[in-house]
Amino acid sequence: MTTLRRTLDEAARRAIAARTEALFRASGALREGHFTLKSGRHSDAYLEKFQVLQDPAATSELCAFWADGVRDRDGTPMVDLVAGPTTGGAMLAFESGRQLGTPAIFAEEVAGAPGEAPRREFRRGFTIAPGERVLLVDDILTTGGSLLAMIPAVEAMGGEIVECAVIVDRSGGTATLTSPTTGRVYPLRSLWTLELPTYEPGPASCPRCAAGEPAVKPGSSGTGLAPA
């Protein structure tokens, strides 16, 4: 199993987190309101990552933090491939791969069998050779669903997941990535960790539902907001 070359000290982690927060705030990506997240849960804060990712310079800077963490002391990449889920993760995978000099691929969401959750598949001729070292990247982690859906697809091809990296972990650092097929726990690294609570829909759990505020689904219209 590949071992990453180093662990950043606390000062370096704080500096990266502060810079990531600054990029999000400068772009207006941190929003307040009543939102229905992709997981179906409600939140009173939402991170519209595409307000940041539309800026190539900002995206490149964020991916550089990941790339630096998976290089050996002589600068050699310790991964052979970068992969991410559509849509934001695909953009991040390709920029990270560009910086590392490795191929980059993405996995698409496909419907599961009746009663099963959607899964991720590598299509369009994308392959992972057995034993290839893979860096999994994504934008915002709430429950980890997108990455968890990708892990079996990588494992099925024989890839070795070196690390899972996200820009923002909004779980407050409580999320873990355990393979649903093998039970293996994979290392997770975030640039910025936030503790933003989420709620089950309905007045019994969600304060904004209790106040009668309508929820919106971010990103589902040209304005970025649409009624839930």
Report whether pLDDT(4) > 90.
Answer: no
Q: What is the pLDDT of residues 119-162, one digit of tens each?
A: 899 999 999 999 999 999 999 998 788 899 999 999 999 999 99
Q: In the prediction, which pLDDT does 97 show?
A: 98
CA neighbours closer than 13 Å in the CB half-sphere of residue 141? 29
Q: Is residue 140 part of a domain?
A: yes
* CATH number of the domain residue 19 falls in: 3.40.50.2020
Q: Is residue 113 part of a domain?
A: yes
Q: Is residue 2 part of a domain?
A: no
Q: Is residue 168 part of a domain?
A: yes
Strand partners, 186: 177
Q: Is residue 206 part of a domain?
A: no
Q: Is residue 192 part of a domain?
A: yes
Q: Which long-range contacts (CB under 8 A, 24 or more apart) does 98-102 make?
A: 99/60, 99/63, 99/64, 99/67, 100/67, 100/70, 100/71, 100/135, 101/77, 102/77
Report whether pLDDT(2) > 80.
Answer: no
Q: In the prediction, which pLDDT does 156 show?
A: 95
Q: Among the listed ranges 2-6, 97-101, 102-106, which one has the minimum average pLDDT value?
A: 2-6
Look at strands 160-169 and 133-141 and give their pairing. Answer: parallel
Query: Higher pLDDT residue, 112 or 108?
Result: 108
* Coil/strand/helix, residue 36: strand
Q: Is residue 153 part of a domain?
A: yes
Report whether pLDDT(221) > 70.
Answer: no
**Cα separation, 127 vs 134, whole angstroms:** 12
* Domain total of the chain: 1
Q: Is residue 95 part of a domain?
A: yes
Residue 174 banded pLDDT, cuts 50, 70, 90: confident
- Expressed as residue numbers, the domain containing 16 is 10-32+47-199
